[in-house]
Amino acid sequence: MVNSMTGFAALKGEAEGVRWRWELRSVNARGLDLRLRLPEGLDDLEPVLRKALAAALSRGNVSLGLRVHSDGATSGAVLDETQLERVILALKSVEQRAQNAGLALDSTSAAGILSLKGVLDAPDNSESDQAGLVAALKADIKPLIDSFVAARAAEGRALEEILAGQLARIGKLVGSAADAAQARLQTTRETLTQNLAKVMENTDGADEGRVAQELAMLAVKADVAEEIDRLGAHIVAANELLQSDGSVGRKFDFLMQEFNREANTLCAKSGSGDLTRIGLDLKTVIDQMREQVQNVE
């Protein structure tokens, strides 16, 4: 079973007037790249999250975001009269300067002034509230990651089905290449024999054994049996990887390079229109499969 590096999971929570939402998503990457976006004051969560994610995942560009909202942010808050006076004086100064410069400013609302830093002081119970919030958020980590891993596994099942179909297509093309190579064999032998006879007729004093040896070497260079055998072995290895557990993406990526190398050699040595067409079809499917493999964890 292969896992995809693409996945998404979200989780909501609420406790004592505080609401939050987690979002966890990933795309493909060469290694494991974790990017966390946490609200200010919740930095203690980061090492816990990194450890949990690293234990569950091996590859992928993973982004985790957390948004926290308080339903009673100003409940029990105390107005700082001194700071309010400073803010009002500063606003007057800014408005006067803007008027002198011929600039028009938007009107300032009371809510806008109250939202400025220091105008309202929150009640001094944040430490206990923060501890409770952190504990609730930590309890979310396992179900969030479990949901995320399940999403990547579901993507992996769909990906596995695609890869299995592409491997079956490659297997058929390799079989067709073997048939075409076998059909070409007799023609190749006849061509080499005729060429040998022509060479011997038009060459005085030529070493017949040496000429035959050179032609035999040409025949060996045109033989594609090894490429076909190696392609067959790669198909077996790829199917084994599909049935393996754990992270197989890097192995798959290397194997696709080997597939491509053999297909290129097959095309270069084809020597016939039929075998060339099969080789080009083979390269096309291998390229399509290689794109899918980039998403395998």
Q: How many domains does the chain have?
A: 3
Q: With bands split at pLDDT 50, 70 and 90, how would you rate the model's confidence at 212?
A: low
| 2 located within any domain | no
Asked whether residue 243 falls in the same domain as residue 180, the answer is: yes
- List, in order, residues 6 or more apart from 79 with CB less than 8 Å away: 119, 120, 121
Asked whether residue 167 falls in the same domain as residue 108, the answer is: no
Asked whether residue 82 falls in the same domain as residue 173, the answer is: no
Domain housing 36: 7-73+125-155
Asked whether residue 189 falls in the same domain as residue 274, the answer is: yes
Residue 258's pLDDT is 97
Asked whether residue 140 falls in the same domain as residue 15, the answer is: yes
* 43-47, 96-100, 164-168: segment of lowest average pLDDT: 96-100
| 256 located within any domain | yes
Distance of CA 67 to the CA centre of its chain: 25
Residue 29's pLDDT is 94
Asked whether residue 48 falls in the same domain as residue 116, the answer is: no
Residue 111's pLDDT is 76
Asked whether residue 37 falls in the same domain as residue 146, the answer is: yes
* CA quadruple 191, 196, 197, 198: dihedral sign: positive
* Residue matched to tokens 């270069």: 268
**Which tens digits make up the pLDDT trace of 221-259?**
557 889 999 999 999 999 999 998 889 999 999 999 999
Range with top average pLDDT, 20-29, 33-42, 118-127, 212-221: 20-29
Please check whether residue 64 is in contact with residue 35, taking contact to mean a CB–CB distance below 8 angstroms: yes
Q: What is the C-alpha separation between 55 and 52, in angstroms, rounded? A: 5
Q: Which two tokens stand for residue 151?
A: 């999403």
Range with top average pLDDT, 41-50, 52-61, 182-191: 52-61
**Which tens digits make up the pLDDT trace of 103-160?**
887 777 887 787 777 777 655 555 666 788 899 999 999 999 999 999 999 999 999 9
Average pLDDT for the chain:
86
Look at the pTM and tell me if it is higher than 0.75.
Answer: no
| 237 located within any domain | yes
> What are φ and ψ of residue 181, in 5° steps?
-65, -40
Residue 47's pLDDT is 96
Q: With bands split at pLDDT 50, 70 and 90, how would you rate the model's confidence at 292?
A: very high
Query: What is the 3-state composition of the chain as percent helix, strand, coil, each rounded to the nearest 5?
Result: 65, 15, 25
Which of 121, 147, 180 terminates a domain? The answer is 121
Nearest residue to 267 (alpha-carbon basis) of 280, 252, 248: 280
Residue 189's pLDDT is 63
